[in-house]
Amino acid sequence: MRVLLPARPGRGARLQTVSALAVGLALGLALTGCSGSDEEAADDPAPKASASATPSPTAAPTATGSKVDPGTLPAATVKAVGEGSTDYYEALTDALGDPSRADTDDPEEFEGITGAALAELVNTLTEYEENGWRVEGEATVVDQEVVRATKDPDTVVVRACVDNSAIRIVDRNGDEVPNSRSPKPRTRNVLTLVRDGDSWVVAAQRPATRPNC
């Protein structure tokens, strides 16, 4: 059973979308979750950690815990998960909006991001700074849902659909980086979040098998 995450009040989540030219993350910075089949949900297990030379981030969690029906998750948990995924995209855009300002040697600076997701962000920041790129604009999370959950360890898999049509990647001169716009205004991604006290933080992300929404 899928659990739709409630919309978060206030500003929409902000996010980066990148082309293959920009970074290997590509569509890895666009949430997911528009209408999808059970087959799609089954195709969204927790991803494996990617290799990285960056020290300290914890590897992405694997689905080794006891499976939990997402429909039985407490309302407070569902709300916290939705806030965690939204905070993730806001943190990404804040960092990528000024890559030279981010301290990639201090993982504590990127609150709400850990594991493979943090390693990817650090690698992306390094590439953006080297190329003189930065992100401009905001994106709106159209829909989010919990499609998987485990206990011991506590993890959830979230998919959400994000309108990223306003996002631009620009160079040092403020010109848009060629081929950096997403070909679709909305993109679907898969996030794995882990519990951190009363909050949930993103430990891994990847494009969904069917990224359009």
Give the tens place of pLDDT for each residue, 157-186. 999 887 888 889 999 999 999 888 777 788
pLDDT higher for 59 or 34? 59
More confident residue, 186 or 195: 195
Percentage of the residues of the chain whose pLDDT score is greater than 70: 70
Residue 61: the pLDDT is: 53
Nearest to 67 by CA among 5, 152, 189: 152
pLDDT at residue number 132: 95
Range of the domain at 14: 3-212
Q: Is the dihedral of CA 204, 87, 140, 4 positive or negative?
A: positive
Domain count, the chain: 1
* Res 42 pLDDT > 50: no
pLDDT of 195 higher than 50: yes
Q: What is the CATH number of the domain that holds 200?
A: 3.10.450
- Tell me the pairing of strands 155-163 and 186-196: antiparallel
pLDDT of residue 79: 93
- pLDDT one-digit tens code per residue, 53-105: 333 344 445 557 799 999 999 999 999 999 998 888 888 888 899 998 888 88
H/E run at residue 42: helix 38-42
Average pLDDT, rounded, for the chain: 74
pLDDT of residue 130: 93
Q: Is the peptide bond before 153 cis (omega within 30 degrees of 0)?
A: yes
Residues composing the chain? 213
CA dihedral 37, 90, 30, 184 (to 10 degrees): 110
Q: How confident is the model at residue 11 (pLDDT cuts 50, 70, 90)?
A: very low
SS3 assignment, position 167 = coil
pLDDT of residue 2: 60
Is the predicted pLDDT of residue 24 greater than 50, yes or no?
A: no
Task: Answer whether residue 37 shows pLDDT above 80.
Answer: no
Mean pLDDT confidence for 109-138: 91
* Per-residue pLDDT, 5: 64
Give yes or no for residue 35 having a pLDDT over 80: no
